[in-house]
Amino acid sequence: MAEFTMELSDEQKEVRDWLHGFAADVIRPAAAEWDEREETPWPVIQEAAKVGIYSLDFYAQQYFDSTGLGIPMAMEELFWGDAGIALSIVGTGLAAVGVLANGTEEQIGTWIPQMYGDANDVKVAAFCSSEPDAGSDVASMRTRAVYDEAKDEWVLNGTKTWATNGGIANVHVVVAVVDAELGSKGHASFIVPPDTPGLSQGQKFKKHGIRASHTAEVILDNVRVPGSCLLGGKEKLDARLARAREKARKGGERVKNAAMATFEASRPAVGAMAVGTARAAYEVALEYAQTREQFGRPIIDNQGVAFQLADMRTSIDAARLLVWRASWMAINGKPFTAAEGSMSKLFASETAKKVTAQAIQILGGNGYTREYPVERMHRDSAIYTIFEGTSEIQRLVIARTLAGMPIR
C-alpha cells in the first residue's frame, strides 16, 4: 500500500507539467471557438491522441498509479484548460471505467482499445445510464435487457439520455434492467459494439455549459448483442442476482449494481475536474485584481476583494485534498466508510460554482462578458453539481452512510 502523501514524485510532476503545457498551448486557445460552435472538437482530440494524452496507455498509467493521484492530477490540469474540450478528451474514460469495474480481462482487452482508436483514426466511447425518467433514481430505469438463450444474445430496448458522446461513439456501454423485481440490484452493463443495428442517436442537447462536449439521447430499438457483451459474463450475473434475491428475502441487504460501481470509481475524478475549473477562474481573478486599478491602486488592496481571493484559494486547496484522499483510498482498496468519494465530489463541485461566481464578481462588468473566460467557466461549473450524482444525492449518500443505512 502506498503511503498517503501530498508531495508528487518527480515523474508525476513531469506529467503534470506536460499536461499543463498542452492545456495552455492547445486547449485554452481553442476554448472560446468550440464553446460557440457547440460541436465536438475533433482536431483537439486528435492533437491529444498524437501526443499520447488521448490513449489507452496514458489512461491506464494514470488509473493504476499506486498513489491514486494520477487521474485527479490529469483531470485538474486538463479542465484547467477548458471544461468542455477536456470532457471531450476524457469522456471516453467513464465508459472505460465501466468496463474496468465490471468486465472480464478478455472484455477489457477487447473493448477498451476500440474505445480510443489511434492517432490516425480517433474514436470515442459513451457510458449510457441516465434515462428521461431515471436520473438520480436508478431504480426507476426502464431500459430492458432480455436474454435470448437460443441465440446466446441479449436484446436491449429503451432510451438513454444525457450520454456524453451518445450516438457518435464507437462503443457504447449501456446499463439495463435484467430483473425488474430487484430494483437497482437487478441491473447489468452491456457493450454495444460499433455499427450495431437498432442503436441510434436521439436528441442532441444544446447546453448551458460544457458546450464543446457532445451530449445526446441514445435510442435502443431491439438492439441485439452477443452474450459475450454482458460485462462480467452471465455466470457472474446469475450468481449476483441469486444473492440479491436471497438477501431480499432475508430483509434486503445492500448489493452493489453495475452503474453504482462505475460512479463510485469516478466521483473523485469529477471532483478533480471541478478543482481544475475553480483554479482556472481563481487565477484569472487574482491576476485581474493585481493589475486592475481603481481609485489609484490595484483592487486587490481592497479588503473586500482580497478576502474573497483568500476564501477562494482556501476552498480550492481543501477540495483538492478531499479529492486526493478519496483517490488514494480507492486505489489502495480502503472502503469509503464515511462516503469519502461523495464528499470529495460534493465539496469540489460546490467550490467550483462558488469560486467561478466570485471570479465574475471580482472582474465586475468585464467578468460578465465573453471577452473574459470566467463567464464560460461559471457556465461550465454548473454541471459538476449535476452529473454523476447531484449535490443533493451526494449529501444523501453521505448521510445514509454515516447512519449505517443502505444506499439504493
Q: Which residue among 76, 350, 375, 388 is the active-site one?
A: 388
DSSP 90-129: HTHHHHHHHHHHH--HHHHHHHHHHHHEETTEE--EEEE-
With b for 16 or more beta-carbon neighbours within 10 A and e for fewer, the 253-277 pattern comes to eebbbbbbbbbbbbbbbbbbbbbbb
Neighbours of 364 (CB within 10 A): 12
DSSP 25: I
User: In a 10 Å sphere around its CB, with 0-12 CB exposed, 13-18 middle and 19+ buried, how is residue 25 labelled?
Assistant: exposed
**What is the C-alpha to C-alpha distance for residues 248 and 245, in angstroms, rounded to an integer?**
5
Instruction: Tell which residue, 157, 161, 94, has the closest CA to residue 126.
Output: 94
Q: Is 388 considered catalytic here? A: yes
Question: 345 in helix, strand or coil?
Answer: helix
* C-alpha cell, 363: 472582474
Q: Which residues are catalytic?
A: 388
